[in-house]
Structure 1
Amino acid sequence: MDVAGASCRSEASWKEMSKEELETQYTPSSWVIRRGAEETLRTYSQIGNEATKRAQATRGSLLHIPYGHREGERLDIYFPEEESEALPFFVFFHGGYWQSGSKDSSAFMVSPLTAKGVAVVVVAYDIAPKGTLDQMVDQVTQSVAFVQKRYPCNEGIYLCGHSAGAHLAAMMLLANWTKHGVTPNLKGFLLISGIYDLEPIVHTSQNAALLMSVEDAQRNSPQRHLEVALTQPVDPACHILVIVGQHDTPEYHRQSREFYQTLHRGGWKASFEELDDVDHFEIIWNLTQKDYVLTQMILKTIFQES
């Protein structure tokens, strides 16, 4: 879907919203359509837990592998039946507004992706209040470097994040890989229902645990960095999909479109997709289904690149 020529600037700026409106815009559970907010969050957790238990019971795996020295720096790797170091690796960062969620309930996509020959890595990071945004970005960077070092013959690393996890994945476009002694073989990014400018969050209740200053938010906003620097892609063939659900909030839509437009202007191979009839939570929990449009989009991205 090409929206490169579209302008989002005519939409009301978040700075002009009332405190109550801003709060609603950045509360995705307020916009669900098939269930109430509480039931949606329970269902999201239940599906994630069941998918993770099923993956651990039916797939070869390496669990709780340390990628750094801190207690929270762990990841799980799930393998297809034919194990090989020369596999595509799909690396997933969970959402939860940087203050909830866990790798232990986020293996939604493991069964359908491993069935097609993709290794799946689900990453933990220190959520707030234990971790700061700066620490989380550094941890995610470490995890990607770890996968590359452990599997140097990989057929491509594909980074995916949902919500806050999409923000962390997007920050990898700005990573200083030299500092980590490796250049990962990044072939694709799948950014699902993400936030790319964190400054609005400073003015919502979500910041109570994060304790972000405006400066913290700006430093950790890929939208702002790419607008200013227009960082050139290391690999012009690396495909970035910016994805949002039809029933995500208008602010999530605006942020996703503006981030896509910035990538497009910067010369990245980027595309924007709005998935029909899903909300902020269904868009990710449906990845348990092999025929789901996003599951197929992921597989198409991986296998046409590798």
Structure 2
Amino acid sequence: MAREDEADWVFRDRHPERGEVYARMDSESERAYATLKVQRGLRYGDHPREALDLFPGQPGAPLVVFFHGGYWQSLSRERFAFVAEPLVRAGYSVALPGYPLAPEASLSAIVAAASIAVKAATEAATAAGLTASGWIAAGHSAGAHLALMTALSPQSVPLRGVVAVSPICDLDPLRGTSLDGALKLTRQDVRSLSPARLPLPSARVQMIVGADETAAFRGQAFGHTARMVQTGHDCSCRELPGLNHYTIPLEIRRPYSSIMAAFIELTGTPAGQGGSGLCLQGNV
């Protein structure tokens, strides 16, 4: 693996702001848990990390299932709870699943857990009386990969759409990087677990990537978008100026953000379901 390829995927040392960004994520997530209604730790499997948190929105509004990033090896649903506040304010219900991590779990096992988590989230929402009008899978980085994979899984549910922020669509470039030490990706993994190498989903897809991200991440987002569009699928990609891989998740908290616009483009503004709130998060 060439040094420049490694640098396209492993770049934490080049972003000294990372610690400050994580601290803000944690602070905003703590506030979300403290101020929003939430059912925490709903089990969907036997592994300690196979649990989800459900933030109820307006009954009948769409349910967003959001997967955290961390290269399938780190981070947690708790750190990404900040995404719930703007989505719930807009009317959506939000489920935040955890999932087993590498190297304890293989990537195929992680993908399987994610699909089960989506189904469990929809069942939990129904049990809570929310009766969602549609299901959206979303995530950041590795979480965006999982969201895209759940759109293809028979273990999941038929999705209305996917919002993939800084997605990893093709696993092949990760083989041979230091990230692969825990993942141990095989050629079969690349073929069977790369959204870019699989049949395309019927769900609509919104890709989002930061203009200050590496060429690898921008290329994955735009490349998979082009593949989908060329075959007649409903997909678009937004490139957001001034944002990198660490700063882009917090963009969802900005009013009228492109990330919120992506959700609204997929779901519309359901009449009588927090409609004014949905509009306030607005179009770009």
TM-score by structure 1 length?
0.81
Q: Deviations over 1:163-201 (max 9, x none)?
A: 111111111232124xx6xxx252111111111110111
Is the 8 Å Cα contact of residues 64 and 74 (structure 1) preserved in structure 2?
yes
Aligned 1:37-186 pairs, distance under 5 A: 37=15, 39-80=16-57, 82=58, 84=59, 86-152=60-126, 153-177=131-155, 184-186=157-159
Task: State the distance in 1 between where 2:82 and 2:76 align.
Answer: 12
Q: Please provide the CA RMSD for this pair.
A: 2.0
Between 1 and 2, higher relative CO (CA 8 Å, sep ≥ 6) is seen in 1
Please name the residue that 1:213 is paired with: 186
Residues 197-228 of structure 1: CA deviation (Å, up to 9, x unaligned): 101111100111112223223221111113xx
Contact 2:63 2:122 in 1 (8 A): no
Matches of 1:210 and 1:122, distance apart in 2: 23
Distance 1:292 1:99 in 2: 29
Tell me the amino acid that sits aligned with residue 27 of structure 1.
Answer: V
SS of alignment partner, residue 125 of structure 1: coil
Q: Percent identity?
A: 27
Please tell me the residue identity of whatever aligns with 1:244: V
1: CA distance, partners of 2:240 / 2:208: 7
1:28 shift after superposition:
4.4
Farther off after superposition, 288-297 or 54-63: 288-297
1:110-154 Cα shifts (integer Å, max 9, x gaps): 111111211111110011111110111001000111122333531
1:261 alignment counterpart: 226
Match of 2:278 in 1: none
SS at match of 1:219: helix
Cα pair 1:99 1:127 within 8 Å, conserved: yes
Aligned length: 267
Residue ranges of structure 1 left out of the alignment (5+ in a row):
1-17, 31-35
Instruction: Return the alpha-carbon distance in structure 2 between the equivalents of residues 176 and 118 of structure 1.
Output: 24
User: What does residue range 9-28 of structure 1 map to in structure 2 within 5 Å?
Assistant: 19-28=2-11
Matched-pair contact (CA < 8 Å) for 1:47–1:108:
no
- The answer to whether the aligner puts 1:204 opposite 2:177 as a matched pair is yes
1:295 CA drift (Å): 2.6
Are positions 1:274 and 2:239 aligned together? yes
Aligned to 2:277: none
Q: Which runs of 5 or more residues in structure 2 are unaligned?
A: 272-284
Name the CA shift for 1:299/1:43 in 2 (closer, same or farther; >3 Å).
farther
**Separation in 1, partners of 2:241, 2:120:** 36
1:192 equivalent among 160, 165, 178: 165
Normalised to the residue count of structure 2, the TM-score between the two structures is 0.87
